[in-house]
Structure 1
Amino acid sequence: MPISFLKILPCTWLLLEEVGVLGPHQMHPMIWGKRRDIGLHKFIETLFYHPLFKSIMISTVTLNAIFLALETDYKVRKESNFFLEVTDLIILAVYTTEFLMSVYLDPVKYWQDGYKRFDFIVLLIAYLPHTIDRNNPETHQTATLLKGFQALRVLKLIYYSPGMRILMAALRQTVKNVIYVLVLLFLLMLIFAILGHGLYGDPTYGDYKNWGTLAAAFFTLFSLVTVDGWTDLQDELDDLHFVSSRTFTIVFILLGFFVFFNMFIAVVIMDIQVTEDMINGFISFLLKAERRANLIAKKQIILKRQQEEVNELLAQQKTTEYQTFDEMVEEFKKTLLHTDPVILEDFCCSLPFIDLYLLSLDRQDATIYKYVC
């Protein structure tokens, strides 16, 4: 088997699991091998992918976000400190249970998923505040900082929302094009920063605060490219009687905001649309393949049932109560007349037809003989 095929096969299998064609985490023996604890694994798998468990996780993340928002109020945090600590421990226990179940079901796939690794890091950070004495003034600042990172746990909603997952997949696809746009915007800002510093950065007669250094010029251009307070910056240049300042500002805003900034948005929207169309097309193709597989499975079931019925009839023919197939054919032939139609594949060329024809001739001769006698 080629090496490239060995690399593609597990990815294809995981993709089919992701879109739902295969059952969740159905481990293929060729790839992952068989588990020994099949019963326990099946029970946890059923529990983990049950809609009720998904609803519990979404509710837990929502409550976590609400409690984190309440903790920002000093009065609430002081009066309900014990309640908030208990709820935080309960929520942390739910997250830990979900992590252990996910790792148990498929540890290889868990660590291959970038989002799951990020989720593990967030869970690890959630435990760090409980290892620090928050009453100690020396570690209070560190504990407060780690407590602020607990807001990252709200990102678990992305895993349970198909729409958000499609959006995140599209954003990963747009990173390359977005980087190109940002590099071009940086080059444009570098050119205008050097130009603005040369035109308006004179310490004596110019606007040294906004254009005196390259860093200040970059910050000023960032305000212009976001069209945030650009009129105040332009008024300061007008007060210093710089004739070319308005042309400089208008040209940069046209290039930086109306071209590059909107180009950035257009690239993201286009890549999201392309990614969504590709995913929908692939899902429709897999659904058609699944329907064909179900149709073939139904045909196999019908054929199997027919085979079982034939086997049952053959078994019944061996008993004394039932006649053999040849005996039934013989009795059937005796009921035929020479005028009865017979459908054959090859007219007058098969043994059954010749047999029936000769029998019909014998009966015709017997009838003529009775009339003559």
Structure 2
Amino acid sequence: MTFAARVVDSTLFQRFIICVILVNAVILGLMTLDLTPETLRLLLLVDYLCLAIFVGEMALKLAVYRRTFFQDGWNNFDLIVVGIAVLPDAGGLGVLRTLRVLRLMRLISVVPSMRRVITGMFLAIPGGASVAAVLAILYYVGAIIGFSFFHETVPEYFGTIGATFFTLFRMMTLEGWPDIAGEVMRRHPHAWIYFVAFIILTTFTTLNLLFGIIVDAMQNAKEEDVREQMAEHGIPPDQETPEIRLVMMERDIREIRAMLESMAPQRRHSAAE
């Protein structure tokens, strides 16, 4: 391994980049204040220094990894963020350069725990899309019912289909829904059935199902990260380590819990006989 490769892969280099990102975050925040011209010039100088370090980092990685650099999605993300930051101020490109604050997003790519969170979120997209589709159907059905029943008597909440959708969103977030329900129930005493059913189906059921999918995806991402770390250190997958044992224990607990839940209806049926 060459000296440049050892530098890029070293923990010290990664920590140095994290420190530069944090310093750059503070500088960008200070530049939004009402400062003297001298202070602003000093901050701009430090900002350009941070940008030069980021450009040097990208050049070093490109020299070390060459074509394999683009096979890593996080490297592509870093390259795009730094590329936007070096755009000139002249012309219409100056608008894009205001996105230099995206440099702070590089913390996600250099901190392993943050990368694991983002990876888990992406793994949860297929299951989350199914839950979102179910939620959209519940919204549509609830909006049609709410508009049909209440648009004449409570137009401020259910006057149009768009206003009805927004009202249902407020109800799902549990923000101010008692006020909405109280206003409607003064004219429709049995409207509580509509509100309770919608909140149970969305907030307490569908959203919790979505959270469960995300947690499971995070767990799978954590397990995959542990296996990748083992492979990097030359540890066979069947060789136990504290990390892999913890992951396997958590997986076994989930399987046992699922098995007990599936056995519960059978026990109730046997007891009834």
Normalization by structure 1: what TM-score?
0.58
Alignment match, 2:140: 190
Q: Deviations 1:134-190 (Å, cap 9, x if unpaired)?
A: xxxxx7xx857742x222211212222222222222222111111111111011101
Following the alignment from structure 1 to structure 2, what is the Cα–Cα distance between the partners of residues 49 and 281? 19
Distance 1:112 1:193 in 2: 45
| Aligned-partner Cα distance in 2 for 1:287–1:172 | 28
**Within-5 A mapping of 1:155-194:** 155-194=105-144
Structure 2 residue aligned with 1:72:
32
1:201 aligned onto 2:159: no
In structure 2, C-alpha distance between the alignment counterparts of 1:111 and 1:67, rounded to whole Å: 30
CA contact (8 A) 1:47 1:53 kept: yes
Structure 2 unmatched ranges of 5 or more: 240-273
| Counterpart residue number, 2:9 | 49
For 1:217-238, what per-residue CA distance to the aligned partner results, in whole angstroms no more than 9, with x for missing partners? 1111111111111122123213
What secondary structure, in the 3-state scheme, does the structure 2 residue paired with 1:159 have? helix
Partners of 1:211 and 1:201 in 2: CA distance: 5
Residue equivalent to 1:258? 204
Residue 89 of structure 2 corresponds to 131
Query: Which residue in 2 is equivalent to 1:121?
Result: 80
Give the AA of the match of 1:238.
M
Name the residue aligned to 2:183: 236
Once the two structures are superposed, residues 3-41 of structure 1 have per-residue CA deviations (whole angstroms, 9 ceiling, x without a partner) of: xxxxxxxxxxxxxxxxxxxxxxx7xxxxxxxxxxxxxxx
- Displacement of 1:196: 0.5
Moved more, 109-118 or 95-104: 109-118
Aligned Cα root-mean-square deviation (Å): 2.5
SS at match of 1:72: coil
Q: Does 1:218 align with 2:176?
A: no
Which residue type is aligned with residue 215 of structure 2? I
CA distance in 2, matches of 1:90, 1:103: 20
Question: Does the C-alpha gap of structure 1 residues 132 and 107 become closer, same or farther in structure 2, counting only changes over 3 Å?
Answer: same
Q: What is the rounded CA distance, in whole Å, between the counterparts of 1:100 and 1:181 in structure 2?
A: 43
The verdict on how the C-alpha distance between 1:88 and 1:279 changes in structure 2, with shifts beyond 3 A counting, is: closer
Aligned-pair CA distance for 1:191 = 0.5
2:221 is aligned with 1:275: yes
Distance (whole Å) between structure 1 residues aligned to residue 36 and residue 146 of structure 2? 50
Are residues 216 and 174 of structure 1, via their aligned partners in 2, closer, same or farther at CA, if it must alter by over 3 Å? same
Q: Is this contact kept in 2: 1:71–1:77, CA < 8 A?
A: no
The whole-number CA distance in structure 2 between the counterparts of 1:253 and 1:77 is 53
Q: Secondary structure at the match of 1:228?
A: coil
Give the % identical residues.
24
* 1:151 maps to amino acid: V
In 1, the alpha carbon distance for the partners of 2:17 and 2:197 equals 51
Q: Deviations over 1:74-131 (max 9, x none)?
A: x237662212211111111011001111111123222222222222221122123x42
After superposition, the C-alpha distances for 1:260-318 in whole angstroms (9 at most, x for unaligned) are 1111111101121133234435644764349x9xxxxxxxxxxxxxxxxxxxxxxxxxx
CA–CA separation in structure 1 for the residues paired with 2:63 and 2:127: 38
Are 1:70 and 1:77, in contact at CA under 8 Å, matched by a contact in 2? no
How far is 1:242 from its partner?
1.4
Instruction: Tell whether the 8 Å contact from 2:4 to 2:60 is kept in structure 1 after alignment.
Output: yes
Would you tell me which structure has more helix in proportion to its own residues? 2
Matches within 5 A, 1:76-115: 76=35, 80-115=39-74
> How far apart are the structure 1 equivalents of 2:189 and 2:60?
69
The one-letter code sitting in structure 2 at the alignment partner of 1:175 is: I
Residues 1:62 and 1:255: Cα distance change in structure 2 (over 3 Å): same
Equivalences for 1:316-331 in 2 at 5 Å?
none
Question: Secondary structure at the residue paired with 1:131?
Answer: coil
Matched, 1:60 2:25: no
Distance 2:131 2:155 in 1: 30
CA distance in 1, matches of 2:229, 2:26: 35
Once the two structures are TM-superposed, the CA of residue 207 in structure 1 deviates from its matched residue by 1.7
Partner SS state of residue 124, structure 2: helix
Q: CA deviation at 1:66?
A: 1.2
Contact 2:143 2:164 in 1 (8 A): yes
